[in-house]
Amino acid sequence: MPREAIKDKTATARRRGLGAVCILAVQLLLAVPALAVADACAVGDSKEARPLADRLYAQGDYQGAGDCYQAAGDSAAANEAFLKAVQPNAKANAQALRAQADTAKALFTQVAHAFHGNH
């Protein structure tokens, strides 16, 4: 096989590999972390929802408390709990986004080293 044909096949394989890695990296960057949110207010009726909401609120689970207050029909308490939940959720989302960015940077660095190391 001529040398030029081997170089073309190698270059094509590298481009395909790089393309696949880039697709995976983009999927990683665009992935929305799955929220493993169980139904925080899995109670039989609205009468049971209020005490559970109060317990969750006291424990600092404002999102779950808001869900239960809503199930109990107390919109004002639900809104207050949801507002308290915003700050911790925003911090957690920011941390997750930073972690994803760091992972993507590391992936691109590894790919760059892999391709530059073969030359």
Higher pLDDT, 76 or 25: 76
Question: Tens digits of per-residue pLDDT, 39-94?
Answer: 558 887 888 999 999 999 999 999 999 999 999 999 999 999 998 888 766 777 78
Domain ranges of the chain: 3-117
> How many C-beta neighbours within 10 Å does residue 17 have?
13
- pTM, full prediction: 0.45
**What is the helix (H) or strand (E) element at residue 70, kind and residue range?**
helix 62-72
Burial (Cβ within 10 Å: 0-12, 13-18, ≥19) of residue 66: buried
- Name the average pLDDT for the chain: 76
> What's the confidence (pLDDT) of residue 26?
56
pLDDT confidence tier of residue 114, bands split at 50, 70 and 90 = confident
